[in-house]
Structure 1
């Protein structure tokens, strides 16, 4: 066993040297755990921010001017004052997400106690902004009208009072959530790509046949690729957590980083083994890419990182409990967001370890059969 581990160590060093000379993969790794995470956390914000809005003021009154002046950053851009014929062309061109049409005699009808209507045209192709922005607009307009009529903002007295307490993300900042989820997705994606590509590269360059005539077995060859590629991604995860998520994005880490890194190591054992499995089935790089689409997308979309698993069909929930990413997402959210300890996340660690061992065994069996068929 000592000799086999020593062989795996030396072959792993060879894999690291091969990766060092592959500049494309190095650039991809560096970008995925730095700029990729930063852009995913900041550029895809789900909050209402700088939404383009236009106003058709057919009343020209003091009240309509107050309403127009109530829309400002950071939620909305400065409103464009337009004429009625410009509404449809502007929405068709995507110039505005919201267009308010204030009718004639609006102020007079409000002061007379009537209930005039303001038409709000919404470009629903921008789903997240359309959903959130409609509520913002309603609250702004009602507040301005109430203050104009009664010279103060009034609040409806309800028989009860709700006191919401927002935990773990009090400002509802999407970057806090998006950065960690992007990190988790990159762990899965990069570990599968690196190990699968390493195996395909050996086959395409003919070096796999050279290894077969050396005094090394399938275990040494496979384990070398697993530990080498897992180490690269594991180090990248630690650096990204410290410099990108904790540094550039200033996301507070509530829990134990060593505990999360231990979970990431088990996850990497599972995903690198999966990469070997896919690489064994694939004959070349294009096949590897196509097979990864079939595997990676379900792992990322159905693991509970983007939408809660409870909202998915029961059959999907049952199937995804056998995926390592499902338990890794649960562990990462519990540790990094809620500050959970080992007493809380040990079921996830145990499930990930069992899945990793199963994937490693299945990949080793498949890889050994592949070597025998080539021999």
Structure 2
């Protein structure tokens, strides 16, 4: 069927609103009428060529909507189901069998390959196959094909058009705190970057009742929002050396750090503020795919500091997204405060709004 989609024609080009041909759902797939789709930093990283994906193509991996068709063999989902869509996974490797799909052995080809596992594309442009199946969805469009493994039913009493970011950005930040780092009550946490991932980490740390939740962020409005969402302090890097500012708040150092910036200098500042046996979680995607961080070996060894990379918050979307929605309904995880909505046709304006800090997380509405 012909659908309207936001297309990336080539690396570095602006988004273009175009008509594309969407394939019928195949075995294990569903077609979703998209209500809203979050604009994620990963979409922009692909658009600028920092992550691999075949172009021209359709991105989008924080979709939500209503299932309007199911493919052969689909029994766990039905037409009319309200759903959020997350990352894809194989369901067969040892990590998927352990219900840890974020570590799926086939994560890269399934989410960045641009085609189905059988090599066919879900999207065609001008009669030629194009990059699709991005994170198993390519939901920057009015309709998307997704796989049963990355589609999660959501309750009727949540705002359907806003739940898409739970599939990636919000899930990643919250999961870093609740799953990967497993922050305990009374612990100290520093979070660098107050975008949607960082602020989701703030809310999760508040849920865990961490004693110190400190945000490092240059944007004043985002620092204010961080405090509103549960941060106990928010510091401006322009006010002086970050490590010294952090040590002034927690002299013994922080138990946990979550970096969403992927900036080597920022990570170094966090390292200098860690406590004995502190853990640093790396969440951000660097602009330079060959970027490296030099770990000071003697201090790391003496203090027993750990550094670990985190993908998708080590979450299983089938259980974690419902958990976050339960927290939302309890009033302790107000992720909707991160979201600004814009029409799908304003994708380029949405990029600018996020890059300038005018918006934290834009959700593009397909209707």
Structure with the largest fraction of strand: 2
Smaller-chain TM-score bracket: under 0.3
TM-score, normalisation: structure 1: 0.23
Give the TM-score of the pair, scaled to structure 2.
0.23
Which protein is bigger by CA-based radius of gyration?
Answer: 1
